Chain A
Amino acid sequence: MAAVEKSAEAGVKAANAERQRAIGLLAKASRTELQSAFDALGDKPDVQPVRGPETGLVMVRGRIGGGGAPFNLGEATVSRASIRLDDGTVGHGQTLGTDGAKARLAAIFDALFQQPDRKTEVEMLLAAIAARVVAEDAAKTRQAAATRVDFFTMVRGED
């Protein structure tokens, strides 16, 4: 019995981790990426608004000294939306910035991601976003690496 509960718990955890990854990638997508993926959907979902899209603020926190007690650094604009598909699946979208339409699209894909028969379509979008982000990050890292200082020692004097 305990083992069953435990495996169910592990299943929820894994599902949450997957969804967390998906939502994180959708937040990093550009509106164009989300819009073209939505336009490309063969079977458009029936979407009802639950909340938003709305734009507000999140207070971004830092830590004293980098790892100490938290403090409030300053705010960032955030847009969010929640939607419901006709089968009742609720999706949440949130992203930095004031683009409510992007948050709504992200919410739609979050909802589709939870539907077993549509997950693959969303996975394709997620893979494309991830590939772009990874490529951009890698290029930036390589550009920073080119500015790394290589120290060398000048030997002076007789010995």
Chain B
Amino acid sequence: MYVAVKGGEAAIANAHRLLADRRRGDRSLPAIGIEQIVAQLGLAVDRVMAEASLYDRALAALAIRQARGDMIEAIFILRAYRTTLPRFGYSKPVDTAEMAIERRVSATYKDLPGGQLLGPTFDYTHRLLDPSLLTDADVDAPLEREESREPVMRVSDILAGEGLVEDDGSLPDGHVPGDITREPLEFPMARDLRLQALARGDEGFLLALGYSTQRGYARTHPFVGEVRIGEVEVEIDMPELGFAVSLGRIQITECQMIAQFKGSTKTPPQFTRGYGLVFGQSERKAMAMSLVDRALRADEFGEDIVAPAQDEEFVISHSDNVQATGFVEHLKLPHYVDFQAELALVRRMRREYEEKLAGNADDLAEAAE
């Protein structure tokens, strides 16, 4: 027999009305606008775009506002929205060598073509609260300097000249890039699928895993070959025209992590690489992604798999924060019947346990007599 219990409609409706009230907050303050969120909380917007795996600043800002700033809730909302849209096609691979650079730093070469461009960075700030931001004080316009017109070469291309670093990373000829939004996850997976999963993976999770590799759980001794942030062109082939057209530009962050490799019987000693590519300005995420990408290649290099960051199934199965929050948070939904069943079970076990204890006591008493 199954007895359905209904109820709660009015409570739910009222709760959502209360949520809307709390979201709006003090009515004497102006409501925050989507344009303001895009302009002034840009890195929050970028994180939502990256982990929702949907590049659209205005929609990400709307999701942040709707979620009251709860990032994972915002990511969830944007992820849900993307399922309502048709897929028009796949872009041509973006060319990060042709990026319009806003920031580019290398930890491996001091003087490299294009130079070290710090861009809009938190690095070297003192992390002291800035009271001037309590008011709407005027902000100085950025300084400008004539550009060097030197090509900002990718560090991987510089290193490749010496043959001491592995290639960019090829897959067998005819390999069609896998798409985790279209096919269920299967392990082991090719590196292209892993990178897609990592690109939308939770920043905190990947950061912790990347950190764990530095602390000795799958030691790779990495260097940041380069981090670059800037805009790239998104182009798509137009079958009706017979040529590719630009759809506009997106901002991305790329990290080339360079790691030691002592070589094997087949490969001479050389540097190996981990790769990170993320929507928007997301340096921490791109770096963490590249560390984890490298750690997950343990198998390729015949390294012992001893740490969580090297375990592909563990990492990829738990990197998606929408899945994770769904499963963790479902625990708060009614489990009344499940719990009643378990309660009855525990009561019975307790009864049996106590009966056994009593029986033992009787036996002991008898033995003593």
| Shortest distance from the beta carbon of B164 to any chain A beta carbon, whole Å | 15
Task: Evaluate whether A151 and B88 lie within 8 angstroms (CB atoms) in the complex, with A20-B243, A145-B147, A146-B143 already known.
Answer: no
Task: Find B148's partner among A62, A63, A69, A145 (CB 8 Å cutoff).
Answer: A145
Assess whether B54 is interfacial by the CB under 8 Å rule: yes
Assess whether B24 is interfacial by the CB under 8 Å rule: no
For the complex, give the distance between the alpha carbons of A76 and B236 in Å.
Answer: 12
Within 8 A of A (CB), among B70-98: 82, 85-94, 96-97
| Shortest distance from the beta carbon of A58 to any chain B beta carbon, whole Å | 5
- By a CB distance below 8 angstroms, the chain B residues around A69 are 169-171, 175, 177, 191-192
Interface-facing stretch out of B8-16, B249-257, B319-327:
B249-257
- By a CB distance below 8 angstroms, the chain A residues around B154 are 66-67
Residues 28-56 of chain B, each 1 if its beta carbon lies under 8 Å from chain A, else 0: 00000000000000000000011001111
Assess whether B199 is interfacial by the CB under 8 Å rule: yes
For the complex, give the distance between the alpha carbons of A69 and B177 in Å.
Answer: 8
Q: Is the CB of B96 within 8 A of A56?
A: no
| Shortest distance from the beta carbon of A137 to any chain B beta carbon, whole Å | 6
Assess whether B204 is interfacial by the CB under 8 Å rule: no
Q: Is the CB of B147 within 8 A of A141?
A: yes
| Shortest distance from the beta carbon of A81 to any chain B beta carbon, whole Å | 12
- By a CB distance below 8 angstroms, the chain A residues around B175 are 69
Q: Is the CB of A62 within 8 A of B277?
A: yes
Interface-facing stretch out of B110-118, B126-134, B328-336, B346-354:
B110-118
- By a CB distance below 8 angstroms, the chain A residues around B116 are 148-149
- By a CB distance below 8 angstroms, the chain A residues around B20 are none
Within 8 A of A (CB), among B235-249: 236, 238, 240-249
For the complex, give the distance between the alpha carbons of A127 and B20 in Å.
Answer: 46
Q: Which residue of A lies closest to B86 (CB)?
A: A56
Task: Evaluate whether A19 and B241 lie within 8 angstroms (CB atoms) in the complex, with A24-B246, A63-B168, A145-B147 already known.
Answer: yes
Q: Is the CB of A77 within 8 A of B54?
A: yes
Within 8 A of B (CB), among A4-62: 16, 19-20, 23-24, 27-28, 54-62
Task: Find B119's partner among A74, A142, A147 (CB 8 Å cutoff).
Answer: A147
Residues 255-275 of chain B, each 1 if its beta carbon lies under 8 Å from chain A, else 0: 010000000000000000101
Q: Is the CB of A151 within 8 A of B111?
A: yes
Q: Is the CB of B96 within 8 A of A66?
A: yes
Within 8 A of B (CB), among A100-159: 137-149, 151
Q: How large is the interface on A (under 10, 10 to 19, 20 to 34, 35 or more residues)?
A: 35 or more
Task: Find A72's partner among B92, B143, B192, B279 (CB 8 Å cutoff).
Answer: B192
- By a CB distance below 8 angstroms, the chain A residues around B56 are 76-77, 96-98
Task: Evaluate whether A78 and B243 lie within 8 angstroms (CB atoms) in the complex, with A66-B97, A139-B144 already known.
Answer: no
Task: Evaluate whether A94 and B256 lie within 8 angstroms (CB atoms) in the complex, with A72-B196, A144-B103 already known.
Answer: no
Assess whether B207 is interfacial by the CB under 8 Å rule: no
Q: Is the CB of A95 within 8 A of B243?
A: no
Q: Is the CB of A62 within 8 A of B147?
A: no
Query: Which residue among B101, B195, B196, B247 has the maximum number of chain A CB atoms within 10 Å of its CB?
Result: B247
Assess whether A68 is interfacial by the CB under 8 Å rule: yes
- By a CB distance below 8 angstroms, the chain B residues around A145 are 117, 144-148
> What are the 10 A-B residue pairs with the smallest beta carbon separation, nearest first?
A65-B168, A68-B168, A64-B169, A71-B192, A24-B246, A68-B169, A142-B144, A76-B55, A74-B53, A69-B171
Given contacts A64-B168, A73-B196, A142-B144, 14 further A-B pairs with CB under 8 A are A58-B91, A61-B90, A66-B275, A67-B97, A69-B169, A69-B170, A96-B249, A98-B59, A143-B144, A145-B146, A145-B147, A146-B143, A146-B145, A147-B103
Some 27 contacts from A to B, beta carbons below 8 A apart, are: A16-B242, A28-B248, A55-B85, A56-B86, A56-B88, A58-B87, A59-B90, A62-B94, A63-B96, A64-B195, A65-B156, A66-B256, A67-B154, A67-B156, A68-B167, A68-B168, A68-B169, A72-B177, A75-B53, A76-B250, A95-B248, A96-B56, A142-B147, A144-B117, A145-B148, A146-B144, A148-B145
Q: Taking beta carbons and an 8 Å cutoff, which residues of B are in contact with A?
A: 49-50, 53-56, 58-59, 82, 85-94, 96-97, 100-103, 110-111, 115-119, 121, 142-148, 154, 156-157, 167-171, 175, 177-181, 191-193, 195-196, 199-200, 233-234, 236, 238, 240-250, 252, 254, 256, 273, 275, 277, 279
Q: Taking beta carbons and an 8 Å cutoff, which residues of A are in contact with B?
A: 16, 19-20, 23-24, 27-28, 54-78, 80, 82, 92, 94-98, 137-149, 151
